[in-house]
Amino acid sequence: MKRTPLYHKHVELGAKMIDFSGWEMPVQYESILEEHITVRKSVGMFDISHMGEIKIQGKGAKKTVLYLTPVHEQKLVPKRASYSFLLNENGGVIDDLIIYTFSEETFILVVNAGNIEKDFNWIKENALSETRVENISENISAISIQGPHSTRISESLFSLELSNMKYYSFETNLEYRGSKILFLSRTGYTGELGFEIYTRPEDVENLWDELLTLRVKPCGLGARDGLRLEAGMPLYGHELNEDITPLEANLRKFLDMERNFIGKKALIERVVEKRLVGFKMIDKGVPRKEQKIIYQGQEVGYVTSGGYSPYLNEYIGMGYVKNNGIESEINIDMRGKEKRAVITALPFYRKG
């Protein structure tokens, strides 16, 4: 299994390590719920060095990004990050990712750890002329600082005013005690105010240690999953996969349907058969991936994610149901017992 440069730090802190898409990562340090609540109330940090980075450069880079993703062109301006996807010819999601625009000719795509090879191959195969594609995942590590106190913490690291930094913007050429910071973005996967700091692998340990002395709580993948679920954010392999389109996943606002890109034709032609919904349990119980969703006695869909929400003190979930006629009350089949739930607008929680 692969390890990030912070692996030994996690073990030292007593983290419980798990296999996450081939990476040995911390799922929790002490308590998933405590870590979750810390991010909502003060500040926590996550090792996200396992994420992949693919650099697209050259005169054809912008055209390539526009051809490979459905991103709105006006969002491809320097120092701006955009959430987008790689789509296949059927409109299915190969991966969801963030595009960092450095210039007209330089882009970095931050992709899911489990999809790095697949994405890299797809991008190489489909890149237009005058474009260089490079997998730079091994050269970049990252820490995500999330929570209402994350601005104060990040400001104290860089002696920089960050409170006016816009959501999904980023800064480059920062330094921290002689260590080069590749980029710092106002992004995250928690629905909370937060920053992600991308560094060289040899610099990430210093940064982690400094954050520990600033009493930023280390948080694992367990808390990260609960936080993104409350924020109604999709997780690849759960809400998204190669058979699901962004339209089904309620992500239409990220699609520029005015221009051409791979998968566009299918998005127009394909019948939207299912849609992603959020739900809260009326009867108690924790919804889990793949449990059946029942409506008026008929199986109409399946759960993609579920859990206990400490913020709401309720059991919540997301899942796909048939696109028409399913409203308000549904049942979730939990180990043979049908439990009542109510369809709820997403997100369950969103601050930043």
Partner 1 sequence: MIPKDLKYSKEHEWIKVENGVGTVGITQYAQEQLGDIVFVELPSIGREVEKMEAVAVVESVKAASDIYTPVSGKIVEINEELNSSPNLINEDPYGKGWIFKIELKEPKELDELLSAEEYERLITEG
Binding site for partner 1 (CB under 8 A): 16, 27-28, 31-33, 222, 226, 284-286, 288, 307-308, 315, 334-335
What CA–CA distances, in Å, run from 193 to 68, 163, 232? Answer: 29, 10, 15
Task: Please identify, using beta-carbon distances, which residue of 186 and 217 lies nearer to partner 1.
Answer: 217
Task: Please identify, using beta-carbon distances, which residue of 70 and 222 lies nearer to partner 1.
Answer: 222
Least distance between partner 1 and beta carbon 31 (Å): 5
Task: Please identify, using beta-carbon distances, which residue of 282 and 286 lies nearer to partner 1.
Answer: 286
What CA–CA distances, in Å, run from 207 to 105, 157, 311? Answer: 30, 9, 29
Least distance between partner 1 and beta carbon 16 (Å): 8
Instruction: Could you list the beta-strand ranges (E) of 58-148.
Output: 80-87, 93-103, 106-111, 132-135, 141-146
Least distance between partner 1 and beta carbon 312 (Å): 12
Q: Is 152 helix (H, G, I), strand (E, B) or coil?
A: helix
Q: Which of 159, 180, 181, 179 is nearest to 170 (CA)?
A: 181
249 and 321 in contact (C-beta within 8 Å)?
no
Cα(302)–Cα(333) distance, integer angstroms: 9
The residue count of the chain comes to 352
Instruction: Could you list the beta-strand ranges (E) of 159-252.
Output: 170-176, 179-185, 194-199, 217-218
Task: Please identify, using beta-carbon distances, which residue of 93 and 318 lies nearer to partner 1.
Answer: 318
Least distance between partner 1 and beta carbon 15 (Å): 12
Q: Which of 346, 189, 349 is nearest to 276 (CA)?
A: 346
Task: Please identify, using beta-carbon distances, which residue of 325 and 336 lies nearer to partner 1.
Answer: 336
Bridge-based pairing state of the strands 106-111 and 93-103: antiparallel
First to last CA, the chain: 33
Least distance between partner 1 and beta carbon 342 (Å): 18
- Can you name the residues that pair with 87 across neighbouring β-strands? 93
Amino acid identity of residue 102, one-letter, is F
Task: Please identify, using beta-carbon distances, which residue of 91 and 222 lies nearer to partner 1.
Answer: 222
Structure tokens belonging to residue 183: 């980029």
Task: Please identify, using beta-carbon distances, which residue of 82 and 190 lies nearer to partner 1.
Answer: 190
39: left (phi over 0), alpha (psi -120 to 50) or beta: alpha
Least distance between partner 1 and beta carbon 267 (Å): 35
Least distance between partner 1 and beta carbon 301 (Å): 20
Q: Which of 220, 201, 208, 190 is nearest to 349 (CA)?
A: 190
Least distance between partner 1 and beta carbon 242 (Å): 26
Structure tokens belonging to residue 178: 């002689």
Least distance between partner 1 and beta carbon 223 (Å): 9
Task: Please identify, using beta-carbon distances, which residue of 162 and 286 lies nearer to partner 1.
Answer: 286
Task: Please identify, using beta-carbon distances, which residue of 16 and 292 lies nearer to partner 1.
Answer: 16
Structure tokens belonging to residue 137: 């995942």
Least distance between partner 1 and beta carbon 45 (Å): 19
Residue with tokens 């059946």: 292
Task: Please identify, using beta-carbon distances, which residue of 168 and 311 lies nearer to partner 1.
Answer: 311
